[in-house]
Each structure stands twice: as C-alpha cells, then as structure tokens.
Structure 1
Amino acid sequence: MRKILLSCLALWSATVLAQQPAPTQNANSRFEQLGPMLPTPNTFRTAAGAPGKDYFQNRADYDIKVELDDANQKIIGSETVTYHNNSTDVLPYIWLQLDQNLFAKGSTGSVTRTGGVSENGMSFAQLQNLTSVRERSNTQATDKYGYKITAVTDAKSRTPLKYTINQTMMRIDLPAPLKPGTSYSFNIDWNYFITEYYGRSGYEFFPKDGNSNYFIAHWFPRLCAYSDVNGWQNKQFLGQGEFTLIFGNYKVAITAPADHIVGSTGECQNYKQVLTAAQQKRMAQAANSKTPVVIVTQAEAEAAEKAKPTDVKAKKTWIYKADNVRDFAFASSRKFIWDAMQTDVYGDGRKIWSMSFYSKEGNPLWGQYSTRVVEHTLKSYGNRTIKYPYPVAISCHATAGGGMEYPMISFNGGRPEPDGTYSERTKAGMIGVIIHEVGHNFFPMIVNSDERQWTWMDEGLNTFCQYLAEKEWDYNFPTSRGEPQQIVDYMKSDKSVLSPIMTSSDNVISLGPNAYAKPATALNILRETVMGRELFDYAFKEYARRWAFKSPEPADFFRTLEDASGVDLDWFWKGWFYGVEPVDQDLVEVDWFQVDNQDPVVAKAAAREAAQRRANTISKQRDAATKDKSVVAQDSTMKDFYNAYDPYAVTDADKKKYQDYLATLSEEERKTLETNTKTNFYTLSLKNKGGVPMPVIVRMQFEDGTDSVARFPAEIWRFNDVQIRKVVATSKKVTQWTLDPYQEIADIDTENNSFPRSSQPTRFQLFKQQQRGGGAPPNPMQQQRRTTPPPAVQGTGRNE
C-alpha cells in the first residue's frame, strides 16, 4: 500500500470525481429493466406478478380402475375423464400425455440419445443399457413397451371417438367443440408392460427372493395443460423435461395381489377391507403417536416375500381418493414394511399423516429416519410457503439412489450395505433426497409450474428449500447444494458447455448444476446478501401464497419477488438466470491517503521517514560498514553548510506559515480539518472480471488485530461494470483487505480477492510406489463392527 499526503480540498475532489467508463462496459444494459425480455402484463397475469382478474385454469377429474399384473409385470387400466373448459376459448379437440410411449419403438426420446462405444471396452451394465436403447429404436422389429390404447369412447353414448397418437401425445377430436364454461366426459382403456425402474417409474427386481417393488407413475393417459401463455402444452416427453399437468379430483381403484401392500396418492377409503385386524389396530395407534408406529412389520413383510408372483392368485382392491391434485402415483409390493404417524405438524389442530413404505433392504436407516424426515419436511417447507394442505405425505424406498416426486407420495433412494452398516454419505444422501422429493409437494405439486418448459421453477426452488430444511434438521448437515462456493466449479466451466438457467428443460446441458444447484444458490445469495432474510422470506412466501394451486411462469416469480420486497432485481435475473457469465471480482490495488493539515511538524516528519525509506537500499545497508572510510568522514575540511543542514527540521518560518494558514480557516473548516487529520482514506481499485455485477463485500483487518466488513450493493457497478474505484475511510490503519470474506457471491477466483496478495499452500503427499487395489474401503460402521461386537438394536427387525 502507498501512503500519499494531499490537501484537504484535493481529497474531497478525488472522492466525487466521476469515473471514466471503460471502452467495453455494459453497465447501462445490465442495470436497465428486463422490459421486453418478459411478457407484457395483461388481465391474466399482472405486472406485480400475481394472477389477474381473467386468470383461468382448466381441470380434469378422473375415475380410474387399474390392475397390477405382478406375474406379467403389466398395468391394465380404464378411466373416465371429465374435462372442464374454464378458459375463454372454444376447444375443438383436447390433448393428452402418453408418457409411457417414451419407451416405445421409434420414440424421439430414445433415438436422439447420443454417445459412442469406446475401444477400451465397456461393462455389462453399459452393454445392457445400449441394448435397451437399441430395442427402443426403429431398427427393432417388435417392442412390447409403450401404451396399447384399446378404446376411446364418449362416456355417455360409448360411441368411439377419433383420436391421433403422435408419440407421447394423443389428440382426441371432440364430437362438438367444447365451449367456455362447459365440460366433457370420455373413457379410455389401455394397458402397457412396466419397465425396469429408471428413476421415475417402474419395478425393482430382487433376485434373492424373486419379487419386485413397483413404483407406478405417469401410468395413465393424462390431460395436457391449456393456458393463457402456451395454449396447449403438448411438447413431447423426451425424458428430461418432466410433466406439465392440471388439477383435478381422483377416485382410483387399485387391484393388486392380495399379499401386496399399496401406498398411494390420496386417502385410502377401505382400510378395513385390505388390512388385517392387527394392522388396523396399529394404524389407530399411529393416529395418535408423535413417533412412527410400524403398521406392517418386517416379520410380516418377510413372510409375504416368500411367495412368488406366479403363486398368488387372490387379489385385493385398494380404493383411494385425492382432491385437487395434479397427478396420481402409487407403489405396491409384498415386500413392504410400513410405518406411520399422524401429527399436528403446524400446531393448528389439523393432523397430517407422515408415512414410509420400504423393504427390509432399507433398514436400519429407513425405519429410523424416513417418516421423521417426512414430517420435518412438511414443517420446514410449510413455514416458508403455505401449510401443507393434503392429508398424507409418503416416502417410498426405491433402489439405491435418486428420487422422484408425485402428489403425496415420493420414491426415494438411500440404501445401507447388506450387513446393515452405512456411510455418513449414504445417510445424508437418504435424508437429503427424502427432504427433496417430499418437498416437491410444494413445488410443483401445489405451486404448479410448467416442468416440461422450466425445470428450474420446481427443481431450483425446491433445492433451495431443501438446503434450508437440511440445516434445520441438523446444523452440521453436509449440504451439497445451496452454498455459493459449491457452484463455483460449474461456473468456471467453458461457456460453450453452459446453458442459462432460463433454458427449456429438454435443452439444458448439465441439468443438475444448471436447474438445481445454480438457481438454489442464486436464491440463497438473494436471501443472505442481496435482499436480506426478512425481505426475501416475505417475498418468497408471497409468491407461494399467490400461486398455490395455480400455474406461474418465470415472469410471475421475478415480478412477485420484486413487488413484495421493493428491491429492484432485474440486474440479478439478467446475470444469474439469463446469462452464463461467472462472478469474478478482482481487488487490483489499494491506495492509502491521509489529509495533509499543513502542520510542518507532521509534514516534515513524514517527509523524513519517506526519504529514509528511499535511501535504505541494499547497497546503502552494505556500505554502512565502511562509511567511516569515506573522504568526507576522514577529512573535516571537506564539510560545509550542507553537511550539517537538516531539510526536515521545523523552522520558525514554517511555524508562522502554518499559523497564517489556520487564521484563514472558518470555525467549521477547522473542525473538519481536526476531525479528519487522523482518518485513513483508502481508494480501492476493483475490476469485474467475470461479468456478473454483484455486491462488493470487503473485510478490513486492522493494525490492532480487530476487523470490520464494509458492504456495497451491486448498484456500485451501475455506471461502469468493468472497473471502479471506491473510497473507504477508517480511523484505524488497515493491514489486509479481502473481498468476499465469507464466500457469499460464488466468486470463481479467490486468489485475486486479497490486497496485499495472500496465498495458502497446497499440500502434497509423499508415498511409496506400491500396488493399489482391493475395492472400496469399509465404511466406519463396518470397521467398528470388525473390532467391536455390535450393540443390540431394537425395532429394526433386521436379521443379521
């Protein structure tokens, strides 16, 4: 740092001097309003981000009868659909989604998958995957997967209706155009073969006992959404962009093998017919318990799983009802353990069921944690959005990893080792995925965004709420998304492989970082750094309140957060949601100034110090040993006036000149001079190397060991988004400056955040050359078990 003395007048001039714009600056465009980038407000959607007076949404009510054919792994169903046209438009036809056709021969989703075969070989699993893709291509003569539509008829007359199937979409031509405010009912019969579980739906087969767990979703023809924004949302299902759906009431009769346990969207209407007396008694206990009660025990599940699918001829029908939901899913297996509790989640007197269905392969983790995590998720999300309106929330254990969400029910991973041990990562992953998938009940099951178009509107918002719920579950929870530094590696990527968050779901590259992590991080930054918790939390809750059971668009979210907080965020949406530039602030230099009060005592002392510092060269230091041998030192006749002259001595003339100067000052000017004489003025030179303007947060470490943090909003870049200077005044001397000291803004390069520059060593290991192998090391639980007998664990039902 450089110390420069200047006059008081010059200092104040420097602080107000306008900065010259950089040749390539974009400040005006970065801080101008989104304007034409957002749709024009209208009577359907207001400029404030709220539904307008003419907002509408159509609905569909379903009466479905379905049978799960366990022996053939097949779904056989029939439905009566009543479609309500609440729009202002006349509809000559309606569109339905046939999502199982993703797996049919020639589907766009399968034949457009890309990749290659490596000459280095592949695993059997990879070969099987390629084979499955081949079987779903046009080169295969037969393909059993996808819907078989056997009938489409008018509900009253049973007259066949004309329909056209275009891959994952089906258009039904109506007998007469459906006018506004009217409804139409029709029937569809269908069947399809269930695929292996692929992350959203299907079956998981257990070779050891020959049974499968079924997770049945996007299993029936469902109405597409018709809105004021897109008309019919009938984009094909390619596998990545999820589902755009509408609300309705459901009555579903699920017929399954008699020894299966069925969990589903909605409330079961006939537990007395499908549960044993002992199970009904346990359920009554669970209805008044604050901890999970096992309704179907592990012993009962293990007894049931001894049967094979072909052994069981008897059937049971489970009847479920669900009102005002946008979808319906269910799970079924003879392997299921089932626990539940019904609790007053919000302290308002209304009880909600939290439930879990899992096979013994999930214990002891699932029995200990799942249902408690379900209840916690409802509480955490409800406090930030709206109270959970449905009567039940279910977590089902589906395969080892990943998860998928549907109204009131979710399919979640996280599985211990066969010996019952697990790593901390497995435990945290299971808890995290349950929070995430149960949390989807709020986004998009209640706040019903268009998943086929905008993945981030459900995944990003949900991941943000998951991050907060994880911290509320355990202060030290190892969150993987939400903290700004966790998105840095992604934002460092080459721009050619990055997509803006505002990218259609099927076109997003790196879906996880883009649609989950980056928007969640952006919201965390808004909450902690840009807006503050109070303003953000209020605005976020207002968004959920406005759009509960409605279908928002991105502009509605952007506008609501600004409208409810009074904070202009257009610059933020542009940088984080519409662009791919990273954050990289560079603290280039810090200049140190103090006011020159023209006191000769101070001025000449400073000048003396500066002169001595300049003269203290390495040569001077080494010549000091022989200074007495110089000619002048040894011959006094070579000395004159200047050998004794001290240019830095304070003379009477200097003192008089200073007094004369003080006499010219007014009383106010004298006070200003006295107040600021001991103040340190620092000019920070900053560059915005990344492109995204963000708040400037700088930590000052003082000479006395204390520190302080100065915060400047992003608008500091509004006149020049490339480079700026900022004056900071302190009463103490600063020894170290650090930008973004608490890692708040996802700065991709922290090496240029310090002045003077500081660096941390990178450690390296010394090792002996040796053969490595042996597979993954045991987890800590396994290591302890090998040395210490395991304690008795009550209630898991696991046979070690």
Structure 2
Amino acid sequence: MKLKVVILSLSVFAYAGFTAQNIQNNPGSNHGNKFEQLGTILPTPNIYRAASGAPGHAYWQNRADYNITAYLDEDKRNLKGTETVTYYNNSPDELDYIWLQLDENEHSSIRNAGYDNSSVLRPSTTDQQLKVTELPVKDNGYGVTLEKVTDASGSPLKYTVNKTMMRIDLPKGLKKGEKFVFKVDWNYNISNRMKMGGRGGYENFPEDGNDLYTMAQWYPRMCVYSDFQGWQNHQFTGRGEFALVFGNYKVTMNVPADHIVGGTGECKNYDQVLTSDQLSRYRKAENASEPIEIVTLDEAKKAEKNHSKQRKTWVFEANDVRDFAWTSSRKFVWDGMRVTIPENNNKVMAMSFYPKESYGLYRKFSTKAVAHTIKTYSEFTIPYPYPVAQSVEAASGMEYPMICFNFGRTEKDGTYSEGTKNGMIGVIIHEVGHNFFPMIINSDERQWAWMDEGLNTFTEYLTEEKWDNKFPSKRGPAWTIVDYMKLPKDQLEPIMSNSENIVQYGPNAYSKPATGLNILRETIMGRELFDKAFKTYAKRWAFKHPEPADLFRTMEDASGEDLDWFWRGWFYGTDPVDIAIDKVTVATPNLETNPKAAEEIKYQVDKPLVNSFEDLSKIRNREDKNTTFYVDQDKEAQDFYYRYDRGQEKASTKEYTTKVDATLPLDAKDKEKFKNITAYQIDFVNKGGLVMPIILEFTFEDGSKLYDKSSAQIWRLNEQKVSKTYYFDKKLKSIQLDPMRETADIDTNNNLWTNNGSSGETSKFQLFKQKQEGAPVRGSSNGKVNPMQAAGKI
C-alpha cells in the first residue's frame, strides 16, 4: 500500500550524557595529575573486598533457587507462570523486605520505568507512523499481571509494584543464615519484539504463519543485595541490563506438542518429548565431533505446515546460574556435537537451533563457532563449567546462561554476503562469550555496562583472531577506535558512566574498554603479564559479584604494574591519544629528498573483507608456532569466502580508481655525504591529553630499521611536552611514531618526521603533507550482487 505523507512527527532522541569525575590533584600544573594514584576515586578496601582486588575474607553473597512452571499459549500469545523462590540471606544484615524485577513492565505503556526521551517535530512522516497523542496514556495490555503472591503456607504477602520493580514486605525480619520461601503466580502478553523491540518476545513468519519465541526476562527475578550498595533496584529502562543472583533452577515449559524447546541447562525428559529418531540422533550427537542434525531440515519444514493442538511439557534443570531463558518454535532445525574443554576435561554439548531461513549459514558455522568460543574463552579466562552451550538464530543478539539469541540468514537462493557471514560468526562468539562475562563473572550490568560488554568484546576479539587470522574485527585493535575518540567532548562520556546515560553506547560500553584492554595486553603490559592477571581476575570472581575496582586492583596486583594512570585516563576521562612529533633538531645537515609523484591504483567493490591494515595481533599470532587457526584445521569451514579471501575464487566487479599520496624518498647522493655520528633531539607534544608510551620506528638511509619504546611514565614530570635524544652512526631517513597504530592515536598526520636535508630545526607539520589512510570500512551488500552470486557459487 502506498503511504501518504503528512507534515507531523515526533522523533526520539538520545539520552543526556553523564560525566564521571576524574579528580585532579594539581590541575594548574603540567604534571602531578595523570600519574597520581586513583586514591579516593576507588572505594576503600574492606573485609568484603580486599585491596588486592580479591574477595575479602568476609565476602558474602545471597542466593535464590527457583522452581518454575510455564504455560505458553500460542493462540493468545500469552505466557502464564508459577514460581516458588527460596531466598537465602547470607549477608550480615537483617532484611525487612526483598526486591524483585518485573522486566516485562518495560513493554507496558503505563508501568514502564518512565525514562522519557526528547522528541522533536519533523517536517514529514507517514500516516502509519502518525499516532494521535492520547492523554492520559492508555494501557496497551503489556506488562506483568500478578495473580497471587504468597508465602510457603499460602498466606498472602504484602507487596508494592514500583514500575519495573516489586518490593515484598516480609512477615518478620530475615536474619543472617535464614531463608524465605515464597510463591508468585503471574502472566503477561508476549510482545512482537520485531515491532516493539526488546530482548524477549516473538517473531512472526508470515510465509508459513509460525512464531519463534525467545523467552527472556520472563519471570519475576530476585534483585541483588550486595555489600557495596545494598539492593540493586534501579529501574529497567530497556538498555542497562541485569544484576542477578546465582541459584539452582528447575523449570517446566508446557508448549504446543510440535514445538522444539531449547533452554538454560539440561533437558531431563528428552525421552518423553522427542521422537525415537530424534532421541537416537541426540545420543549420537553426544559423542560426535561434527554437528549432527537432531531435528532435520525436512522435519522442521513439515512441522511448519501443521499447528498441533496437543501439548508437551519439557523439563529443564540448571545449577549455579544467575538466570534462565528459553526458546520455543516448530520452525527449528536443531543440531549438536560434543566438545571437551581441555583445562577441566568438561564434556559440553554445543548446539544450535535455527529456522530454515538460516540453514545455509547456521548449519555450516553456528555449532562450530559455539565450540570454538567456549574453548578459546576457557584458555583466556576460566574453564567453561557448564554442560551445555547453545546458539539460537532469532534475528537478534542477546545472552543468557548456556543459551543465546543471534542473527544470520541467507538470501532466498541460499547465498549470503561476506558481511552477513562475518557478522553472524562475530555475534555468536560475542553472545556465547557472555557465558563468561557476566553469566559467571557476574558484574552489575545495570550500573556498569562495560564490565560485561567491554570485557566480553575484548575476549571476543581474541577469539575471532583464533578463528581466522584474516577475520575483519572491528572492535579490539587500537586503530579501530580512532573515529570515536576524535568526536567533540560534548558527544563523549567516560567509560565509567551509568549505562542509561551514555549517548555513544556501542563505542563507550563495547569498543573503548575492549580496545583499552588490548592496548594493555599488546603495548603496555605484554601478553604474558596481562594474560596471567586477566585469568587471575576471572578465577577470583567466577560465580561472584565483581565491581570495577576489583578488576583494576587485580590487574595491578597480579602483574606488578602500576596502571592507575591508564585507568584514570582511559576509563575515567574523555581525552584522546594524540601524541605529535613537534620538531626534530639535528646536529648535522639534513638530507635532501626528491618528491615522488602520487600514484593511481585500481580497486574493486566487494573485494575480500580482510583488514587492509595488518594489526600487531595478527602478525604475532601468525608468527607464533603455538597458535592455530580454526579455519585452517576444519576444511568444512573453508567456504567460498575463505577461498575468495585467498585468491582461490574470483568474482567480476566494477573497477574504480584512487590515488596513493606522494612520498618523499631520500636522494641517493645524500646518503653518501655523512658518515659520522648524528644527534637527533625529538620533541613530542601531548595534544590529545591522554598519555601513552612513545613508540618509534627509525628508518635509516640504508633501509635498516631500529625500534624503541619509552613507557608512558616518560610523561610523569611533564604531561604536555617531552624530548628524547638519540645518537646514531648512520643517517636517518624518517622517524615514525606509533608505526603499528597500537595506541589509538587520533591524528597520524603528525606522527611522521622525514629528513629533508635542511640544517637546524625541522618541522614536519609545515613541510610535509604525507597522509596515512585508515582501513576502509566495509559492510554488507545492501541488495547488491554479492561475490558469491557473481561467481555462481553456493
């Protein structure tokens, strides 16, 4: 239907920013600020949290066990549930009340958190987008309906609902070491998450009339009561995620008989809900090293056509988890295989659930990516402790213990773009990786989004690197954060900001902390020191509730590195890195050079999506004989794009022309003029404000190179300007600052000095205009013919 255009609109704008306080001890000076200890910025160590970053000798945390029964009404798209919760008070405090989260209220028009956004009048909109403002706001029928709240004996409990939170007043104080058992009956209308957004809900497939359900935040969940803030009962706005307690779960889900269910933990009654053939295939998959289809594509297609009116009940159990999520649909193909974690010999079922629309990608990659992820994360953090790890294709990206919802669908002809493939593998690694951060290392996502997203994105980057050395990671390498760091200060906020108040959420919560950790690993600490410290943090805080100071202190405690300057600048501030070579003073005449004209080169669209810049991690991984890459071992993972990236497949595309900037090579005669020692005083200026090591590549006339790195502490006595003097017995051709782009310097145009042969002081910035381009940004095909189609390959 053609849409009519009207002259009215309300447009939603972003959250207002929040700036964390970066206390300066000596703001009027050129020193004494960036290298001072964090001091009172961090909380005072105590018996619960030690100064080393480890849990204190009196550390405690509470616990909640759940017994839940759920009924999925597909016709009404309604979920009805009953839960019995046993809450254990291990704190030293007597509790008069407890708090629970009613996250589904965020979908309600009248019971949501009430975090309004700015809106403006746009010049045009469509009649379908236009909705007449109704005041007072009417109930849209979504959100939790509480039917009954009682104690273990069935006596009603007094409770209060405040938007997305519910307080239950206890009949008497709950003392240390005591437990309280209560029961809640509830129901809610399941939302169409493709239209209303959110993490849980259903997706409808009009072509076959079926739904795919992702049941998340679907039951009343206990809030965290902790030593560092008491009850974490901040409202759920839809962005800041969750703070949850560990416990044991038993969950039964009554669903249409032709649905396939995947959930947190292990199913205890496969013999009752699967056909004999499916059960036999599952038993084979338990010992398989390659994914086996438990529910086949043909079975899934047949199930789509018949909507059963019968019911089946699936029973799942999970221990030591902080949450429970599940999925249900008759559309699912289901495959699985066994994975052994070497560090603890844990035998894990890696599985995937996906509709036919995703078959061409998920059948090839999903379960293998799940297996690769839990094995690689186990190397860098702690051994994966759970019996199951699952990936569900649901056109989304969200994580829960042992199960996550991801995206990745092919075109109708079975082809896919390389961007879609890489995006799918990346999101599977990311969401499966969340099993470690924050499902096990259980940070408070509501307050500190970066503690799960940033740490997970960093470990995702390490895992992508070990999947394929050519994987085009967009988060992790220092050079990829530059565009964000260039933004004006009024568009930035520190990493240490509440998740609700971040404007640039992706870069702030994901990319910048991940990049910071990679800089620590590759440039500041070195891999050996960093990896030991990072594993120590993971081990210390597995199945516990860490805060930022626990990470900061552990990284220093386990490595012997004073990193307060780095946390202060990268996490508490918004200054970028921009270290410039201000001038070079030469004690002998400089060299003359002849400019080399700019060159034209040809390039094609839809070339292989490998990074144009070989970052430091890729080079080191390739040189390390102990590092192996998944795609080089598993021939099944070597699809069309694997060969295309390596020149084994060709696809015809239109050619374009671009220019390579002019260079200034040395004159050959000048190389012979001076054979005595030459002194070079290099003056650096800190234009960006954030201190970093000074990394130099010296290139001499004879083509040889030397490297030097001064630690960030070179700036400790003058945070604005420093100088370094070098004496060489041969002439320099150039000095390149940060040659591997490992510090996230936002302006590489001031990082190169080239010897032009003049005497005295030389300024690169006035005499040279050599420009260094970053790697091109590539995306999906956006409807264009992809290389796979052009080559006629599937």
TM-score, normalization by structure 2? 0.81
- How many angstroms apart in 1 are the aligned matches of 2:118 and 2:180? 42
- SS of corresponding position for 1:27: coil
Q: Kindly tell me: are residues 244 and 314 of structure 1, through their superposed partners in 2, closer, same or farther at Cα, counting changes over 3 Å?
A: same
CA shift for structure 1 position 487: 0.6
The answer to which of 457-466 and 754-763 deviates more is 754-763
Q: Kindly tell me: are residues 521 and 349 of structure 1, through their superposed partners in 2, closer, same or farther at Cα, counting changes over 3 Å?
A: closer
- How many angstroms apart in 2 are the aligned matches of 1:722 and 1:706? 31
Partner of 1:224: 223
Partner of 1:207: 206
Does residue 447 in structure 1 map to residue 441 in structure 2?
yes
Partner of 1:529: 523
- How many angstroms apart in 2 are the aligned matches of 1:685 and 1:568? 26
Does residue 783 in structure 1 map to residue 790 in structure 2?
yes
- SS of corresponding position for 2:173: strand
Q: Deviations over 1:54-96 (max 9, x none)?
A: 1100000000000111111111000000000000000000000
Give the alignment of 1:187-198 within 5 angstroms: 187-197=183-193, 198=197
- SS of corresponding position for 2:186: strand
- How many angstroms apart in 2 are the aligned matches of 1:348 and 1:564? 23
The answer to which of 271-280 and 99-108 deviates more is 99-108
Partner of 2:346: 350
CA shift for structure 1 position 217: 0.4
Counterpart residue identity of residue 75, structure 1: L
Give the alignment of 1:33-52 within 5 angstroms: 33-52=37-56
The answer to which of 103-112 and 257-266 deviates more is 103-112
Instruction: Mark the runs of 5 or more structure 1 residues left unpaired by the alignment.
Output: 1-21, 595-605, 614-676, 764-773, 792-800
- How many angstroms apart in 2 are the aligned matches of 1:121 and 1:264? 41
Q: 1:509 aligns with which of 488, 496, 503?
A: 503
- How many angstroms apart in 1 are the aligned matches of 2:274 and 2:144? 32
Does residue 390 in structure 1 map to residue 386 in structure 2?
yes
Does residue 153 in structure 1 map to residue 150 in structure 2?
yes
CA shift for structure 1 position 113: 2.8
- SS of corresponding position for 2:341: coil
- SS of corresponding position for 1:88: coil
**1:588 and 1:755 in contact (8 A); partners too:** no
- SS of corresponding position for 1:458: helix
Q: Deviations over 1:462-483 (max 9, x none)?
A: 0000011001000000101011
- How many angstroms apart in 2 are the aligned matches of 1:93 and 1:471? 48
Partner of 1:654: none
Partner of 1:182: 178
Partner of 1:697: 695
Q: Deviations over 1:597-643 (max 9, x none)?
A: xxxxxxxxx9xx99xx9xxxxxxxxxxxxxxxxxxxxxxxxxxxxxx
Counterpart residue identity of residue 559, structure 2: S
- SS of corresponding position for 2:336: strand
**1:25 and 1:722 in contact (8 A); partners too:** no
Partner of 2:643: none
CA shift for structure 1 position 345: 2.9
Counterpart residue identity of residue 738, structure 2: D
- How many angstroms apart in 1 are the aligned matches of 2:135 and 2:225? 32
Q: Kindly tell me: are residues 751 and 761 of structure 1, through their superposed partners in 2, closer, same or farther at Cα, counting changes over 3 Å?
A: closer
Q: 1:114 aligns with which of 115, 118, 132?
A: 118
Does residue 94 in structure 1 map to residue 90 in structure 2?
no
Does residue 74 in structure 1 map to residue 59 in structure 2?
no
- How many angstroms apart in 1 are the aligned matches of 2:52 and 2:351? 39
Counterpart residue identity of residue 77, structure 1: G
Counterpart residue identity of residue 785, structure 2: P
CA shift for structure 1 position 510: 1.0
- SS of corresponding position for 1:573: helix
Q: Kindly tell me: are residues 99 and 301 of structure 1, through their superposed partners in 2, closer, same or farther at Cα, counting changes over 3 Å?
A: same
Give the alignment of 1:580-659 within 5 angstroms: 580-593=574-587
- How many angstroms apart in 1 are the aligned matches of 2:320 and 2:355? 30
Counterpart residue identity of residue 575, structure 1: G
- SS of corresponding position for 1:29: coil
- How many angstroms apart in 2 are the aligned matches of 1:107 and 1:510? 27
**2:115 and 2:237 in contact (8 A); partners too:** no
- How many angstroms apart in 2 are the aligned matches of 1:347 and 1:285? 24
Counterpart residue identity of residue 555, structure 1: A
- SS of corresponding position for 1:496: helix
Percent identical residues? 54
**2:198 and 2:238 in contact (8 A); partners too:** no
Partner of 1:643: none
CA shift for structure 1 position 778: 1.5
Partner of 1:796: none
CA shift for structure 1 position 508: 1.3
Does residue 318 in structure 1 map to residue 314 in structure 2?
yes
Counterpart residue identity of residue 376, structure 1: H
Counterpart residue identity of residue 587, structure 1: I
CA shift for structure 1 position 779: 1.3
Counterpart residue identity of residue 425, structure 1: G
**1:105 and 1:138 in contact (8 A); partners too:** no
Partner of 1:469: 463
Please identify the structure whose Cα radius of gyration is greater: 1
Partner of 2:684: 686
Does residue 332 in structure 1 map to residue 331 in structure 2?
no
**1:345 and 1:375 in contact (8 A); partners too:** no
Q: Deviations over 1:676-719 (max 9, x none)?
A: x9433211100000000100011111011111111000000000
Partner of 2:659: none
Partner of 1:84: 88
Between structures 1 and 2, the one with greater helix share: 1
Partner of 1:104: 108
Q: 1:729 aligns with which of 727, 730, 749?
A: 727
- How many angstroms apart in 2 are the aligned matches of 1:93 and 1:109? 21
- SS of corresponding position for 1:331: strand
CA shift for structure 1 position 557: 0.3
The answer to which of 59-68 and 343-352 deviates more is 343-352
Partner of 1:16: none
- SS of corresponding position for 2:104: helix
Counterpart residue identity of residue 293, structure 1: I
Q: 1:63 aligns with which of 67, 75, 80?
A: 67
TM-score, normalization by structure 1? 0.81
CA shift for structure 1 position 181: 0.5
- SS of corresponding position for 2:33: helix
Give the alignment of 1:261-410 within 5 angstroms: 261-308=260-307, 312-346=308-342, 348-399=344-395, 402-410=396-404
- How many angstroms apart in 2 are the aligned matches of 1:692 and 1:456? 20
- SS of corresponding position for 1:78: strand
Partner of 1:249: 248
**1:28 and 1:719 in contact (8 A); partners too:** yes
Give the alignment of 1:421-440 within 5 angstroms: 421-440=415-434
